[in-house]
Chain A
Amino acid sequence: MFAEVMGGFAALANPETFLYLVGGFLMGLVFGAIPGLTATLAIALLLPFTFAMELTNALVMVMAIFMSGIYAGSVTGITVNIPGAASGAITTMEGYALMKRGHGAKALSLDALASSIGGVLGAAVLMFVAVPMSEFALMFRTPDKFALVFMAVVTVVIVAKGSIWKSLVTVSLGLMISTIGFDNMVAQGRFDFGSANLIEGVQLLPAVIGLFAICELLLQGGSKARTAAETPAFKVKHRDFWPDWKEVRDIGFWTYVKSSVIGVLIGMLPGGGASMASFVAYAEAKRVSKKPEEYGNGSHEGLAAAESANNAMCGGAVVPLLTLGIPGDSVTAIIFGVLLIHGLVPGPGLLTNEMATIAPMFAALMVAAVFVFLSVLVFGPYYIWLARMNRGVLYAFIAMVAMVGTYASTYSGFQMWMALAIGIFAWLLRLMSYPLVPMLMGIILGPYLELYMRRTLITSNGDVMAFFTNPISIGLYLMTALFIYFLRIKAPKVA
């Protein structure tokens, strides 16, 4: 395994692959930092291009976008009090307080260092945990696989922000969309209304483009441009971004490590995501802090804890995707699509059979985490520009890539209409504050949930107790119950 992981790093030495890594990193940085845009959108827009990319380049680029996009969510939060993504909300609270006191460069520097440490630790955990977990997953039988997918679906519903009823609606809608088309076990079309296009089912690409790109375009249509007063000037020099090592020592190595471990564990949880990781790590750091009164008023410790967890989550989120075939959030759900496009099926057999192909992903995640710290030294003084980017250019570009990308990768005008229809429906759902991530997870996990449910019932002659007889299944159902208790009934609070 060690040799294959090293082979992953060696793959990055290929100039073309390295260029994709840098390109992905910059793309994630821009999309993550611009309020309203996210790493998910960046990867969604990249999806059509991956059809024509070499697999290694596609995976490396996606990983770089993931790492830098999650980090950059906090950049405009610190500089202009507008987080680029929800995951940057806690960092914004602490970082902007420092910015107002004239310590903006210091906040950005601590933010980048913590993100780098978290990202590197998360990638390291991924490298060590993925293969053993994958080997364990090979023991899963069909009822266990059903229990696993069921756990993912339930967890996605309970961790989604807002009303649990609304999450239930959107995950059900996603699962319903997955039932459209030819039945995967008997020769029977379903919900296709006699259309030759619908009989193939709803493809992942137009669904992702609709849910994240078209929907975002329509949402931005309803939002006003920010004024110059909301994005004030920020004049600093490159050297201001070197971290003050005394402050780093004050924060303490243990804070970084503990927050990173929290981030990795939450990343492994289906639906966990960066927001929850930063939230829980921040709450834990505050609980044990010697200076809890500083939290909320520019705490270095709080900022470091939130950001370490944020980026450590990236490594954790990839673990269930590669080992169990369960995407943990919207980004890994799209990575799932990238793997499928290239004929690789995420799941227990992937790492045992294709480790050499997947290893560059691990290496890219770690190298991108190191780039995070380097990026603030290079681009720090220019971060303010990201919040001022021309909206006409930005949204015309997103609209073009979304629609043309859908056509170019499917050669079908119908799929453009499908992306648009899903986008309009997703926009309506967002207008009504329904979460969209459960819908995407439903679309992706639906075929597996149905397949394992039906196979279990067929082999047991319809006996539903077959779902509850294997120790692994029972363990997974108990974990589901625990998640419901800890994440919904007894959810952690920051205040």
Chain B
Amino acid sequence: MTMTRQALFALFILALDVAYLQQALQLPRPFATGEPGPSLMPMVLVFTLGLGALGVLVQELRGTAVHDDDEDANFSLRTVALIALTCGFAWAFEPLGYVYATLCYAFGVAWLFEQERLGPVKAILTSVVISAGITGVGWLFFVTLFDLFLPSGYF
């Protein structure tokens, strides 16, 4: 019986289930006023999520789980960098405004993919061109074509 990453993730899901249950218990109890109330569905869901997570956990611990791993799904530093970049973009979007924030974000994303093909230095130039193009196309679509509001920054 070994604790695989799948088993650990099932435990994480169970922890989420417990947190959800803790919140659900703060709602009025089902049928307390004669009606099902707002906590009935959450209680049912606590049961179904727990059942699913326990099913995964038991299969993993017994070694009976059949893994059909997604071939595209791998962990990499580039993914971490993409998460960091996207967090930065969400944080800077309103203060910096669409143009500057998108230029930086598109540059970062493009560079992360382009450096694989061109190397880190050559990728800088192509990424600058890509980010300028994408920022322009984005403005064209969102503002010019569809008349949607985009922030222009605090500065």
Tell me which residues across on chain B come within 8 A of A399, comparing CB atoms.
82, 86, 105-106, 109
Judge whether A395 is part of the interface by a CB distance below 8 angstroms: yes
From B38, B98, B111, B135, A188 is in contact (CB under 8 Å) with: B38
For A346-375 the 0/1 string (1 means CB < 8 A from B) is 000000000000000000000000000000
Contact B40 A400 (CB under 8 A): no
Contact A413 B72 (CB under 8 A): no
Contact A222 B75 (CB under 8 A): yes
Among A136-144, A160-168, A307-315, A481-489, the stretch that binds chain B is A160-168
Nearest B residue (CB) for A435: B70
Nearest B residue (CB) for A153: B48
Q: In the complex, A167 Cα to B49 Cα: how many Å?
A: 10
For A96-115 the 0/1 string (1 means CB < 8 A from B) is 00000000000000000000
Nearest B residue (CB) for A408: B148
Tell me which residues across on chain B come within 8 A of A42, comparing CB atoms.
none
Tell me which residues across on chain B come within 8 A of A423, comparing CB atoms.
86
Q: Which of B87-131 contact A (CB under 8 A)?
A: 87, 89-90, 93-94, 98, 102, 105-107, 109-114, 116-117, 123, 126-127, 130-131
B interface majority secondary structure:
helix
Known: A188-B27, A431-B74. 6 other contacts (CB 8 A): A190-B38, A222-B78, A392-B126, A396-B113, A408-B149, A453-B36
Tell me which residues across on chain B come within 8 A of A179, comparing CB atoms.
41-42, 45
Contact B38 A185 (CB under 8 A): yes
- Once A185-B38, A432-B9 are accepted as A-B contacts, the answer to whether A408 and B142 lie under 8 Å apart by CB is yes
Contact B148 A391 (CB under 8 A): no
From B13, B75, B90, B112, A403 is in contact (CB under 8 Å) with: B90
- Once A165-B56, A431-B73 are accepted as A-B contacts, the answer to whether A217 and B82 lie under 8 Å apart by CB is yes
Nearest A residue (CB) for B80: A221
Q: In the complex, A166 Cα to B51 Cα: how many Å?
A: 10
For B67-86 the 0/1 string (1 means CB < 8 A from A) is 11110111110110111001
For B24-60 the 0/1 string (1 means CB < 8 A from A) is 1001100100111110111001001101110110010
Tell me which residues across on chain A come within 8 A of B51, comparing CB atoms.
165, 168
Chain A contributes a number of interface residues (CB within 8 A of B) equal to 76
Q: In the complex, A53 Cα to B142 Cα: how many Å?
A: 11
For A203-246 the 0/1 string (1 means CB < 8 A from B) is 00000000000100111111111000000000000000000000
Nearest B residue (CB) for A412: B94
- Once A52-B146, A221-B81 are accepted as A-B contacts, the answer to whether A176 and B42 lie under 8 Å apart by CB is yes
Judge whether B66 is part of the interface by a CB distance below 8 angstroms: yes
- Once A169-B53, A188-B38, A396-B109 are accepted as A-B contacts, the answer to whether A407 and B150 lie under 8 Å apart by CB is yes
- The 12 listed contacts between A and B (C-beta, < 8 Å) are A53-B146, A169-B52, A169-B56, A190-B23, A214-B86, A217-B109, A221-B78, A392-B127, A408-B146, A413-B93, A430-B72, A458-B36
Contact B65 A457 (CB under 8 A): no
> Contact size class for B?
35 or more
Judge whether A258 is part of the interface by a CB distance below 8 angstroms: no
Greatest chain A CB density within 10 A among B6, B66, B70, B126 is at: B70
Tell me which residues across on chain A come within 8 A of B112, comparing CB atoms.
221
Judge whether A9 is part of the interface by a CB distance below 8 angstroms: no
Judge whether B137 is part of the interface by a CB distance below 8 angstroms: yes
Contact A52 B148 (CB under 8 A): yes
Contact B68 A396 (CB under 8 A): no
Tell me which residues across on chain B come within 8 A of A167, comparing CB atoms.
52
Contact A430 B70 (CB under 8 A): yes
CB distance from B97 to the nearest CB of A (A): 12
Contact B105 A400 (CB under 8 A): yes
Judge whether A279 is part of the interface by a CB distance below 8 angstroms: no
From A176, A188, A420, B49 is in contact (CB under 8 Å) with: A176
Contact B83 A218 (CB under 8 A): yes
Contact A188 B28 (CB under 8 A): yes
Q: In the complex, A223 Cα to B106 Cα: how many Å?
A: 19
Contact A400 B52 (CB under 8 A): no
Q: Which of A379-423 contact B (CB under 8 A)?
A: 390-397, 399-401, 403-405, 407-409, 411, 413, 416-417, 420, 423
What 9 A-B pairs are tightest by C-beta distance, nearest first? A165-B55, A168-B52, A222-B74, A169-B52, A172-B49, A221-B79, A52-B146, A392-B114, A392-B110
From A214, A397, A433, A453, B67 is in contact (CB under 8 Å) with: A433
Nearest A residue (CB) for B151: A407
Judge whether B62 is part of the interface by a CB distance below 8 angstroms: no
CB distance from A268 to the nearest CB of B (A): 26
From A165, A397, A427, A431, B59 is in contact (CB under 8 Å) with: A165
